Structure 1
């Protein structure tokens, strides 16, 4: 389960006893304000589980923070955390609890993330929100510790992606006219085919 409080961020739910166990409630310390920490790691966050169920990854939209957790015997332990960009943000007016929102200066990190048992794939912008119209995202392959291994600048603006067993990457994106399209990137040639 995923929550957004200091009492429960992630946990396992046992439906037979209707109890939580292995509660994880730590957040990256990005601000002195605890509500800001919660919302920075929850705004547009992508949380994914590996096919084997042994790894959980959380990747943030604002700032591009990548958290990698090991799952063993239904216990969650932080393995590594990577900070890629400074988290610049604004606040949603009147929101209680305090909630962050993007600003034109916000550096957009992860648009999406996908896990295999060998790697973490991320759609990463790495540019200020105000410059997204004139830039293209990167498809980055990370190792299991969150270290970038390979990256490609995409011709397409993708919104989501998936990776097949042979390493073929599929993405749902849109063209310059705003029409959706399916893109395929093959691992051997590193060239796109539609």
Structure 2
């Protein structure tokens, strides 16, 4: 088992330990039809250069870009979980989010989010059941400031991610009936509960397939959202209108192959050697969805399964428009569409270290 999959397995066990039995509802949806990723798309060959190959990353899981900052979420770092770099030259600036249970400290962080309304960087601490926020500095003379947190809203053990928009926070959950909701002062308002049937085994297994490390992204205007599937490759596209969420399009490419982890209630899935990894990361703009898709099994090529050299680009109707072929395998990324840049994290086999890359592409060449 590779280092990447050891981390995934560890997280699965930790999260499953938070579950309690809540009962489930049966969904009468028709099982989805899987289609292959299109092979005849226009393809861009994307050159890359190394921005930083000296910082000792432990397990970089996500890259966020804000203004001129690249914020790397390093889940397993024992000191701090965020490391901030200049997007111009890759220079390390500072770290924030120390491990611990004091003010401004975290124990079990989940995927972070940025709220531009107050320049805050936020995450949900699944162990402490609280929303932890930091204000990013405006200039180099400023320092990062710890803000506030909201603690113990109802059913907060079931959160897998929070997403900021316009001063509020949407919640992605993993126990029925909470798939998507909105965080309020001491509770969560459920907005959406349904899941497409990627597996017909039962409703709990299907829900778990969708919630095995999904990526959930909302556009800046708060009107569109996407969620990805990691155990098998799928993307579900949503529209949002005044907190009313509607599923618009489902793109399903790889059926899930998994095992049921013994003793979990509700039922929870894990990977096996034959699992074809799906969407490793997804980023969005107002125009496009960028999906880093693996489709490699853990036995056929473990190193390739950890990352991908292909980013598939779709419009918001679900139509494929381009495939970006990268010069390196990357595991997570961020997109600066206006400047034609992708920032990706690659593992260098020779040094055994992660490298922060800058990758060039041209969205003006996408098939319209």
Does residue 124 of the first structure (1) align with residue 293 of the second (2)? yes
Q: Determine if the alignment matches structure 1 residue 168 to structure 2 residue 336.
A: no
Q: Partner of 1:151 in structure 2? A: 323
Q: CA deviation at 1:95?
A: 1.8
Find the aligned partners of 1:151 and 1:46 in 2 and give their Cα distance: 20
- Listed as ranges, the gaps of 5+ residues in structure 1 are 190-194
Give the Cα–Cα distance (whole angstroms) in 2 for the partners of residues 76 and 33 of structure 1: 24
Q: How does 1:6-155 map to 2 (within 5 A)?
A: 6-15=176-185, 18=187, 20=189, 23-29=191-197, 30-133=199-302, 135=304, 137=308, 138-155=310-327
Q: TM-score scaled to structure 1, two decimals?
A: 0.87
Q: CA deviation at 1:63?
A: 0.8
What CA deviation, in whole Å up to 9, does each residue of 1:70-98 have, x standing for no partner?
A: 11122111111111101111111222221
Q: Which stretch of the first structure deviates more once superposed, 26-35 or 105-114?
A: 26-35
Residues of 1 paired with 2:300 and 2:318: CA distance? 26
Residues 11-62 of structure 1: per-residue CA shift (max 9 Å, x gap)? 22344x95615x2110111224111011000001111112222211110111
> How many Å separate the matches in 2 of 1:36 and 1:90?
9
Indicate the residue corresponding to 1:5 in structure 2.
175
Q: Between Structure 1 and Structure 2, how many residues are aligned?
A: 187
After TM superposition, give the deviation of residue 133 of structure 1 in Å. Answer: 2.9
Secondary structure, in 3 states, of the residue corresponding to 1:35? Answer: helix
Contact kept in structure 2, 1:157 and 1:175, CA below 8 Å: no
CA distance in 1, matches of 2:328, 2:261: 31
More relative contact order, 1 or 2 (CA 8 Å, 6+ apart) = 2
Give, in angstroms, the shift of residue 8 of structure 1: 1.4
Partner of 1:131, secondary structure, is coil
Q: What is the rounded CA distance, in whole Å, between the counterparts of 1:53 and 1:167 in structure 2?
A: 23
CA distance in 2, matches of 1:64, 1:112: 11
Task: Give the secondary structure class of the aligned counterpart of 1:9.
Answer: strand
Q: TM-score, length-normalised on structure 2?
A: 0.48
Does the Cα contact within 8 Å between 2:238 and 2:247 map onto a contact in 1? yes
Pair member with larger Rg: 2
CA distance in 2, matches of 1:113, 1:85: 16
Distance in 2, matches of 1:19 and 1:93, equals 30
SS at structure 2 position matched to 1:3: strand
Q: Could you tell me whether the CA contact under 8 Å between 1:156 and 1:174 is conserved in 2?
A: no
